[in-house]
Amino acid sequence: MESKYKTQEEKYEYISKQHGGYYRHNFTDHAYLYNLYFPPREVINHLKDNIDNLVLNYPMAQNALAELISDIIDQPTERIVVGNGGAEIIKILSGRLAKKIIVPVPSFNEYANAAPEGQAVEFPLEFPSFQLDVDKFADEAIKVGADMAVVVTPNNPTSMLVPKSDLIRLSEKLRKHNCMLIIDESFLDFANNKEQISLEQDIEKYPNMAILKSMSKAYGICGLRIGYLLTANLDFSKSVRNGVHIWNINGFAEEFLRILPQYKHEFEDSCKIVKADRDVFYKKLCAIDGMHVFKPDANYIYCRLPDTALSGPEVTKRLFIEHNIYIKDSVGKTQPDADRYVRIASRTNEENAKLIEALKNVMYVKG
């Protein structure tokens, strides 16, 4: 891989164009958002021990995969669609099913990117708070004739939750206008009081609602590519299921789902550690003079750089070149002053402390 670049600056230019495979390049990744404390070594060893069968045999198809997710989330299989990561399901929702989709921005770009040209509407979050006014959002969805609306909670990149009561009110307003509400809960396991704020167990009350979850983030399995959609609207789940091919999940992912219920306590404990590390990290970022730090509900933190500091892209590049640490700037997100914002994934306390010192070192022009 070193043949792809000769200098640290060339390495940065190469990495900044990639969408994965970071582990091959020897730097500290504060960009991608996943649980560093799960899965436990026993899970990896189990997959190793079964590698012959997992490589040589066909995996199961959609109905059987839905049964495995059903065992994890305690929902009927007919409500579940299993995807090759959340991205496969997003492609079906935005690219095939929605005639007009509305998405608050800034948010995860793929919902808008996957839609055919002219079929995605971007709704700006309140600025500078980045809060979602669900009543204004509902009004805009109705005005533009959207048949699908998306809310990511906690949002990416802002790491902020949308209150459950707001989402219920939004669903009820949209229902009268035949608009499906997609709630992306991919990062909800890192929020406090998850059981009280998730709509997963209330899904049967809201026929125009679907929950989307990428399991890569919370379960630390980005390479296995598993996501699922849950809805009590069986016509909708059938339409989504019709968009996936028969063997869309590989044997390693299938086996992971099969054994996952055995590790429920380990998973819950891992999320507690992630949250504890994040909370310490948040306090340290808040102590940087002039930095505006948004209180996080996920495992990453959104920051507005001090007005006198370098821009987000400049800070990101210097951090990588001088300290071999990679974060994400917000250029490319639809928002005001995008070049003043950065998103930083929380890692271990030691790595977070190193990033704080490195960030303070690169934020300003050196005299």
Q: What is the DSSP string of 143-197?
A: HHT-SEEEEESS-TTT-----HHHHHHHHHHHHTTT-EEEEE-TTGGGSTTHHHH
Contact predicate 159/168, CB 8 Å: no
**34-88 residue pLDDT tens:** 999 999 999 999 999 999 999 999 999 999 999 999 999 999 999 999 999 999 9
- Domain containing 277 — which CATH number? 3.90.1150.10
75 and 178 housed in the same domain:
yes
Closest CA to 292 of 276, 274, 272, 312: 312
Q: How far is CA 355 from each of CA 222, 306, 343, 361, rounded to the nearest angstrom? A: 23, 17, 13, 10
Residue 11 lies in a domain: yes
Q: Which of 261, 289, 306 is the last residue of a domain?
A: 261
Do 182 and 65 have their domain in common?
yes
Q: What is the mean pLDDT of the chain?
A: 96
The per-residue pLDDT for 1 is: 54
Per the domain annotation, does 66 fall within a domain?
yes
Same domain, 280 and 188: no
- Residue where a domain terminates, one of 261, 288, 303: 261
- Amino acid identity, position 112: A
Per-residue pLDDT of the chain (367 residues; tens, 9 = 90+): 557 899 999 999 999 999 999 999 999 999 999 999 999 999 999 999 999 999 999 999 999 999 999 999 999 999 999 999 999 999 999 999 999 999 999 999 999 999 999 999 999 999 999 999 999 999 999 999 999 999 999 999 999 999 999 999 999 999 999 999 999 999 999 999 888 899 999 999 999 999 999 999 999 999 999 999 999 999 999 999 999 999 999 999 999 999 999 999 999 999 999 999 999 999 999 999 999 999 999 999 999 999 999 999 999 999 999 999 999 999 999 999 999 999 999 999 999 999 999 999 999 987 6
Q: What are 22-39's pLDDT values in tens digits?
A: 999 999 999 999 999 999
Q: Which residue in 283, 277, 268 sits closest to 346, CA to CA?
A: 277
**Can you give the residue range of the structural domain that contains 298?**
2-40+265-362
Whether residue 276 sits in one domain with residue 189: no
Is 270 within the bounds of a domain? yes
- Domain annotation covers residue 54: no
Neighbour tally for 249: CB within 10 Å: 26
Residues 211 and 127 grouped into a single domain: yes
At residue 307, the 3 state secondary structure works out as: coil
Number of domains making up the chain = 2
In a domain, residue 367? The reply is no
What CATH number is associated with residue 80? Answer: 3.40.640.10
Same domain, 213 and 273: no
Same domain, 306 and 220: no
| 131 in any annotated domain | yes
Q: Indicate the DSSP class of residue 212.
A: E
Same domain, 63 and 201: yes
Does 135 fall in a domain?
A: yes
Q: Residue 159: what are its φ and ψ, rounded to 5°? A: 65, 25
User: Are residues 82 and 19 both part of a single domain?
Assistant: no
Instruction: Judge whether 67 lies within some domain.
Output: yes
Q: pLDDT tens digits, residue range 282-314?
A: 999 999 999 999 999 999 999 999 999 999 999
Domain identity same for 210 and 87: yes
Cα separation, 216 vs 364, in Å, equals: 35
Cα 206 from Cα 180, distance rounded (Å):
10
User: Scanning the structure block, which residue is given the tokens 């026929």?
Assistant: 207
Please tell me whether residues 328 and 358 are part of one structural domain: yes
Same domain, 91 and 160: yes
User: Which residues fall within 8 angstroms of residue 176, CB to CB, at 6 or more apart?
Assistant: none
Residue ending a domain, choose from 228, 261, 294: 261
In 3D, which of 89, 81, 77, 71 has the Cα closest to residue 257?
A: 71
